[in-house]
Structure formats: structure tokens, C-alpha cells
Amino acid sequence: MKRHKLFIHIYIPHMIVLLLTLFAAGSWALRGARQEHYTQTRHSLRATAHMLTETLARLPDPLADPHTLDALCKAKGKATGYRFTVVLNSGRVVGDSHEDPRTMDDHSGRPEIRLLIGEPADAVGWSERRSDTVRMNMMYVAVPWQGETERMGFVRAARAMGDVDLAVARQRVRIVGVGLWLAALGALVSALIAGRLSEPLDRMRQQVQAYAVGRSGLHLPSSPILEIHTLTEAMNSMAGHLNERIQTIVRQRDEQNALFSCMTEAVIAVDDQGLILSMNPAAMHLFRPDHDAVAGRPLQEVVRNADVQRLWRKTLDSPDPVEEDFVIPDSDRFLQAHGTALTDGHGHRIGAVLVMNDITRMRRLETMRRDFVANVSHELKTPVTSIKGFAETLLDGAAEQPEERLRFLKIIDKQADRLKAILEDLLALSSLEHDAENGSLPFQKTRLAPLLEQVAKACQEAAAKKDMTIALSCHADLKAVVNAPLLEQAVVNLVGNAIKYGLERTEISVSAERTDAATVIRVADQGPGIARQHLSRIFERFYRVDKGRSRSMGGTGLGLAIVKRVAIAHGGRVDVESQVGQGSVFTIAMPDRPA
């Protein structure tokens, strides 16, 4: 449909009506004026024709001398400027003001004459036509010529209408002129009216368009035209409501986005066609899509995981929320996923929201806890079984044999020591973790040289048994903010291991020094070293490189785990450098901390 501006819609019909009106009024006026002129002329011709019939009636015998009639016509014609013709009943012309009647043909057929035949004496016959004789429009008016007893013939008066037509033409020019002025005035007024109506609407349109694309607010100015004023009021109020709603929606959206963004759970909203509606930062981090712009892209393209796609499909098909656990193969991450259907206002399913919780840490902790319990049970089982076995043997009669009794009791004592050592280490670990978590461990600025000397003293006996020497290297003034008993315990563990696993007659070096913003304690031995594959695990609880050897040496498998916890409690870390056959170097690094 072709659309035009309101201006055109108002202006064109206005102009059509105006021009038609002007044309109709002009034509009607012109026609009236012409008719008026012609009627007057007809009356005037009839009057003069009657005057001539009266003159003829006064003639005693008008037909006696045809020249008399002709001369009368000519005299009358000269006096009035009209043409007079006297026609007998037979149609023969006997007098004419402008022609010689003898040369004139039968006039009984002329329309104005024919109209009178059989008509009463006061009848008038008239006709307008073009005269070939004078070559212009003529008006003929004929009246009966009554003799004393009978009708003698007809008197006809005629007049050339050229001047009347000219007057009418002049009138037409004047009317057309006035009409054109009126049309111009009408065009101007129409344009003003159309402009006055369309201009506020046009302005309104511009403002509404600007509002629609969010370029500005909507404050339409008031209009003196009631309808437009009502419309602007309604639109201003509608824009006000709309603004409020938009603000509410924007606020809700921002809140949702903030919520969505700060959630640690990965959230993906997918429509029923499998196209992603949105994905929060946690989900982006988890699935690492190749593009940041994921909205509108297929789920299977963005999240290349069959489990996620199955969850989406299942959520759409299931009447209830669904829950599943799965693993992301590439990254070995465990996910606990919930799928809830998205519905529209009519309760139709339009997609699904998938919420995935990364439970890898929880799973690992669970596994660690399980392993730990299994390890503790296993570690405790051996000495307990041994104690139980030897105690039963003693009860069964071995107690009666003094040698056996002593041997068994020694074994029971050794196993009980082992149990005690394990339990002490476990308790130490547990209270260490507990205190570190609570922040209840006391720290004090301590000189490290005496602390290391204390360690050397504690380990001296064991070292001496293997003919090993402990070399200390620490500046006498070196101080650090530490928990002295714990740190001493950690270094004792390290030196104890160096003695346990080191070679006889070798030296163990224990040193402490300050490096950039940290204090480092190093324990180096010349023992067998540790193979590379074990290095990352020896700080785990109950991890041993050589189980039999460790046990035979009274190791609990918890010594290095305690060292690690102590280092962590000091905000630091423990490291090991070792190669098989090259000895090992354990390092506790503790960053400086306020006293």
C-alpha cells in the first residue's frame, strides 16, 4: 500500500474540493449571466417586434405596396440597430431591414416562425443560431402580425449576439481571475491547515522514533489541538510507565547478571532448540569455549561434552528437575549437575537451565579421607595383630618358658612403641592442623642457632649409633618469628630421616640462613637419595618409598607430613632435592612475619 504524508492527505482533497467548488460556482455564475443577457435581449427583441406589428397594424393596407413595408423595416432597423423582417403567412418575405426581400427565400421554415404557426396572437417564437448572412450568432424573436380580421403574417426582430457573447466572455475572464485568486488563497489556507495538523504529528513521530531507539526520553510538547493534545498526554504518560518498567527490568537484569556472574556454580541456559541463551563466567571458565560470544550458538558446538547435552535433553523430557554426576574427561573434573526446565508464562517448556557444581576438590578430599582411614587402619592393624598374636601365644603357655616369654614380651613392647609412635604422630598432626586453622599457634621471635643445637642434641644418640656427624651452620644472631617447639619437631623429623636412611659414617649438614624476605632451614644428607617418581609424594601421609625398610626402622610414614604441616603453619613450604645415590636436601622456607 502506497503511503503519503498527512499533509498530502489533507491538502490534496482540500484543493480538489476547493477547485471543484470554484469551477461549479464560476460556471453557474457565468451561465446565469449569459442567460440573463439573452433573456433581456429576447424581451427587448419581442418588445421592438411588437412595436413594429403595431405600426403595421396602423397602416391602412400594408400589402398594397410592398416597398412601404420594406422601407419601414429598413427605417426601423436603422433606428434600433436590430434586423427586422416581415414575413407573410405563406413564408414570403415582404420587408427586411438588411436585405432585399425579393432575393430572400421562403422563411416559413425558420424555427422562430414555425413555432408560431397555429399559436395564439400573443405567442412568441424565438431561436438562436448562427447566421450565414452576417456570419455570427443571432437571436431571432418572431411575433404574429394580426390584421383586422386575420393573421397577416409574422414580424421578426433579430439581433447579432456578438457583443453579448463578448460581454459574457469578459465576465468569464473576471470570474476565472477571481476564481484563481480564491484558489490561491484556498491553497495557502489549506497548506496552513494541513501544516498545522501534520507538523505536530511529524514532530511527535521524530521524538517517538528517537525514543524507540533509546536516543532520548519522551516529552512531547502540548498542542492547542485537543485531539493531538490528548494523544501527546497519553503518549507521555505511556512513556513514563514504559520508563518505569524498563528501569525495573534493567535493575532486575543487572541483579540477575551480578548474581549469575558471581555464582561459583557453572550455569548454562539453553533453549529447546539447543541454542545457548546465556552462560555465566564460571561455566565459561569450566568449559573454555573457543569464542566469548556464545549466546545463540548450539550447545554441542560450545560445550563439547556428551554428558552436558544428555542432561539438557533429559531435563527437557523429564517432568521433574534432574540431577547427575559426571566427569569432564580432559580436565578430570567431577561435576554435580542439576537441570531445571525453563517455562514461559503459559507453562510451556522453552528450554533448560543447567547448573553444574565443580565437586572435584570435595571428591579428592573424600578420597583422601577414605585413603587416610584405610591407611591408618592398615598401619594400626599390623602392630595390633602382632601384639594380639604374641599375647595369645603367651597365654597359651609360652609364658611358662622364660626365654620365649622374654622374647615375646620384647616384641609386644616394640609393637606397642610402634603403636604409640603412630598415635603420637597422628595426634601431633591433628592438633597441628587444628591449631593452625584456629590461628591459635603462638609465634615468637626466636634465635635459630640454639634451636638447631637442640635438634642436634636430640638426634645425637641415634647419629652416633651409625657413626654419623651432624654439622650445624647458622649465624648466632639469626632470628625468625616461629613456633619453636613445632619447628624443632620438624627439623628433628628431617634429621631423624637423614640418620635413618643415610649411610653410616657420613655427615648430615643442618643450616639456617636468611634469603630475600625468608628464612631457610636446610637438612642435607649423603644417603641413598630418593627416586624422582617419589619426590612429589613423600610428603603425603603414610607414603613410604620402601615400606619394609621404613617400618623396620620404626618409621610411621608421617614424619614428612608433619614437616609439611609445620612449614604451612609458618606460612612457608617444604621442598626436596634428591637424586638416587646422591643424597637428599630438604628445605623449609618460611617467609618473614611480624612477631
Residues of this chain that interact with ligand ADP (CB under 6 A) are 493, 497-498, 501, 525, 527-528, 530, 538, 543-546, 550, 555-561, 584
Least distance (Å) between residue 533 CB and ligand ADP: 12
Rounded to 5 degrees, φ, ψ at 169 are -65, -40
Q: Would you give the distance in Å from CA 416 to the centre of its chain?
A: 74
Cβ pair 112, 141 in contact under 8 A:
yes
Measured from the CB atom, the residue of 85 and 556 that comes closer to ligand ADP is 556
Nearest residue to 94 via CA among 76, 131, 67: 67
**CB 520, min distance to ligand ADP, A:** 17
The least distance separating ligand ADP from the CB of residue 558, rounded to whole angstroms, comes to 6
- When the beta carbons of 198 and 550 are compared against ligand ADP, the nearer one is 550
Closer Cβ to ligand ADP, 521 or 558, answer by number: 558
CB of 528 vs ligand ADP, minimal distance in Å? 6
What is the closest distance, in whole angstroms, from the C-beta atom of residue 572 to ligand ADP in the complex? 18
Of 545, 546, 497, 560, the residue nearest 524 (C-alpha): 497
**Min separation Cβ 493 and ligand ADP, Å:** 6
Give me the least distance between CB of 398 and ligand ADP, in Å please: 31
Task: Determine the Cα–Cα distance for residues 408 and 398; give it in Å rounded to an integer.
Answer: 9
- Give the residue carrying C-alpha cell 510538547: 221
Enclosing H/E stretch for 518:
strand 518-524
Residue 33 φ then ψ, to 5°:
-65, -40
The three cell numbers of residue 583 are: 643424597
Whose Cβ is closer to ligand ADP: residue 112's or residue 525's?
525
> Considering beta carbons, is residue 472 or 585 the nearer one to ligand ADP?
585
C-alpha cell at 509: 649438614
Our CB check for ligand ADP shows the closer of 233 and 467 to be 467
Kindly tell me which of 154 and 542 has the beta carbon lying closer to ligand ADP: 542
Q: What's the CA gap between 279 and 270, in Å, rounded? A: 9
Residue that has been written with the C-alpha cell 403567412 in this structure: 89
| Residue 510 to residue 492: CA distance in whole angstroms | 10
- Cell output for 201: 504529528
Q: List the strands of the sheet with 573-578, edge to edge.
A: 469-474, 507-515, 518-524, 584-591, 573-578
Say what the alpha-carbon torsion angle 58, 63, 67, 73 is, to the nearest 10 degrees. 50
Q: State which residue, 489 or 584, has the beta carbon closest to ligand ADP.
A: 584
Q: Smaller CB distance to ligand ADP: residue 266 or 494?
A: 494
Kindly state the DSSP code that residue 324 receives in the 8-state scheme. Answer: E
The C-alpha cell that represents 276 in the structure block: 545457548
Nearer to ligand ADP, 565 or 570 (CB): 565
Please state whether beta strands 469-474 and 333-343 pair in parallel, antiparallel, or not at all (unpaired). Answer: unpaired
Question: How far is 560 from 34, CA to CA, in rounded Å?
Answer: 133
Residue 525 CB, shortest distance to ligand ADP, in Å, is 5
